[in-house]
Amino acid sequence: MRWIISKLLTIPIVLLVVILILVSLTSSILDQIMMKQIEIEIRRSVITNPQYANLPMEQKMKIAERMKEELIKALGLDKPWYVKVFMYAYSLLTFKPIYARVLTTRIIDPGSPNAYLIVLERIPFTVVLFTTSAIITLCLAIPLGLLAARKPGGLIDKIISAWSIFSISMPWWWVAMVMIWLFCYEWRIFPGPEHETDWANPISVAQRAALPVITVVMMSTGVVAYRIRSILLDILTEDFITTARAKGLPERMILRRYVLRVAAPPIVTIVLLSIVLSIVSGAIITEAVFNWYGIGLLFWDAVVANDIPVVLVLVYISTLLYLLTRFALDILYTYLDPRIRRA
């Protein structure tokens, strides 16, 4: 129990350190963004206010300047930089609205510059793409890894080895471009990246997701199968496996009852971390090449547009998801591996 509590307490500490470092590096840019937003909002409110309609423009600007100074003091933007760092960090950690410079939402409250909403509406599309790919990859990789481990040096083992080498060696962006060229423009089976997609329509999203899913599965199955095969081969050389075989137990029972049970923790780690890392990064290059409306493309757009608030929110949510997944893995390990429970 103490071990779980200590793991849980590390999450806010790591988050705070990450956010403080990021905000410290970008605090001057955040100041400029906040000042600009305040100036625009104050001027708009003064100019459109019927109370000041008959006043000359010069007097309106003076009123706007006075209101701007008052709002800057009220928000604490006139304080030293180290105080503002903690203010910005607190705003991020407590999910207070932070506004983007350039990017806006398309689905949730269209046109809103709220950075949290911008990120929130992209997450489901990345989850759909990479979780679907991970599930299909796992369904293919586990049986292939088992078959390769049962007969090392056999035909399936050689195919998986060559497949994994190909997947690691070939640039994903190049393979994605070849897939787009073949399936979208030569054979015209799937819509291309430039195709106008109704992202609120599940059927339209499924049509657009088909080719990216096929590409991700093709490039990841060989690597995952080879890792599973290596894990299983290490376990098959253990003494308890030799003892089980000496007892005359069937090979299928040995694999199901002994090998897979011991191999479960590392396999679960590979699968969950692969899914989460793909979600939090959105596999930036993959989504950018396929023009997929997800976290990866948002990362790319935010960096190109120098939209620091969106980058900060993306890094914060990504770090939070990663830490929560690691904590869930630690809890899961206590059930999969009795030795950890006893420790």
Does any domain span residue 299? yes
pLDDT at residue number 260: 80
In the listed set 96, 115, 139, which residue is the last one of a domain according to the structure? 96
In the listed set 55, 77, 96, which residue is the last one of a domain according to the structure? 96
Give the residue from 79, 97, 124, 40 showing the smallest Cα distance to 312.
Answer: 97
Give the count of domains, the chain: 2
pLDDT at residue number 1: 64
Is residue 266 located within the same domain as residue 322?
A: yes
Does any domain span residue 108? no
Does any domain span residue 103? no
Is residue 269 located within the same domain as residue 156?
A: yes
Is residue 16 located within the same domain as residue 151?
A: no
Coil, helix or strand at residue 129? helix
Quote helix, strand, coil % in the chain, to nearest 5. 80, 0, 20
Q: Decide: 270 and 308 in contact? Cβ < 8 Å.
A: no
Coil, helix or strand at residue 114? strand
Is residue 90 located within the same domain as residue 135?
A: no
pLDDT at residue number 340: 58
Its domain, for residue 45, covers 2-96
* Residue segments in the chain with a per-residue pLDDT below the cut of 50: none
CA distance 78 to 208: 48
pLDDT at residue number 208: 92
Is residue 92 located within the same domain as residue 127?
A: no
* pTM of the predicted model as reported, rounded to 2 decimal places: 0.81
CA distance 74 to 122: 33
pLDDT at residue number 301: 92
